Structure 1
Amino acid sequence: MAQNNPPSSIEVNQALQQVLNVWDRIRVNSPIYDFLLSGVNVYHAEEGSFCAKLQVGPKHLNSKGTLHGVFSACVTDWAGGLAIASCGLESTGVSTNININYLSTATMGDWLEIKGYANKVGKSLAFTTITVSKCTSSGDTTLVAQGSHTKYIKTR
């Protein structure tokens, strides 16, 4: 888990590399992640958290032309795992509980900011929080979805 002291740039780079390595590995074995998240850019990580951006495309939309709820659920599942990976784990576990609150929406062309946080990584369970926000042209963000995700992880 993250410490109270700011991480060094070496620790940040190691966390980002760890998250990217895990993402590369799971993408190959998860067609749904590869389909929905093929354009995602994971650009920052430190122990216990990571950030990514993704532009909303046609495959992310529902019949009303807004962000599909299943997309937000998939992102919550994916981001929970990568938040756990940022803590140095190779295996990011199996979902035991997932909850998503839909707070707003996004449409075609909007940019989404995805943030994943590992709140606690224990011996057998990990608890994560995920936010999906829409970035506006003025630089502000609007929270679109907030999720919590609990995963069973292998004992270290």
Structure 2
Amino acid sequence: MSAELQQVQKVWERTRSNSPIYEFLLSEVDIYEAEPGVVRARLQVTARQLNSKGTLHGSFSATVTDWAGGLAIASCGLDATGVSTDIHVNYLSTAKEGDSLEIESRANKVGKSLAFTTVTISKKTESELTVVAQGSHTKYVRTR
């Protein structure tokens, strides 16, 4: 296991125990890869992530953007991943119960006080990935 993945797992375990919403929505997530500034995870969609129409809830994609952006920051060696100053999500497709999601987050820049991240949530089919949502997230961090 890489040092970055160990760091991300450590931050995730601490975060999930202090965040009921993350535990509720992401308890089954598999964080399988991390390198400096990049984290990859997968998750099978369950009923708890769906809206009243039976498709992936928009708030779930926003929560994943928040969560995964923080973990991308953690992959850069930070224990404290900051607080949100801006979050934006583009909803491009949808997913339903049983679909397999691939989540990739990137810390595009981690500065002295702000970190900028992007998150892509894709639905995996037999032959391809279809982007479901893309998010951008800015967090206030203190790196000193």
Which range, TM-score by smaller chain? over 0.9
Counterpart of 2:30 in structure 1 is: 41
The residue correspondences of 1:75-94 to structure 2 (distance < 5 A) are: 75-94=64-83
CA radius of gyration, larger in: 1
Distance 2:47 2:71 in 1: 25
Number of corresponding residues: 144
1:155 to partner: Cα distance? 3.2
Counterpart of 1:104 in structure 2 is: 93
Structure 1 stretches of at least 4 aligned residues deviating more than 4 Å after TM superposition: none
Counterpart of 2:124 in structure 1 is: 135
Distance 1:136 1:105 in 2: 13
What's the TM-score once normalised by structure 2's chain length? Answer: 0.98
What secondary structure sits across from 1:95 in the alignment?
Answer: strand
Letter paired with 1:98: I
Letter paired with 1:14: A
Letter paired with 2:131: L
The residue correspondences of 1:7-156 to structure 2 (distance < 5 A) are: 13-138=2-127, 140-156=128-144
1:123 to partner: Cα distance? 0.2
What secondary structure sits across from 1:17 in the alignment?
Answer: helix
What secondary structure sits across from 2:81 in the alignment?
Answer: coil
What secondary structure sits across from 2:2 in the alignment?
Answer: helix
What secondary structure sits across from 2:6 in the alignment?
Answer: helix
Give the unaligned 5+ runs of structure 2. Answer: none
What secondary structure sits across from 1:107 in the alignment?
Answer: coil
1:154 to partner: Cα distance? 1.2
What secondary structure sits across from 2:66 in the alignment?
Answer: helix
Distance 1:76 1:50 in 2: 12
Distance 1:114 1:39 in 2: 13
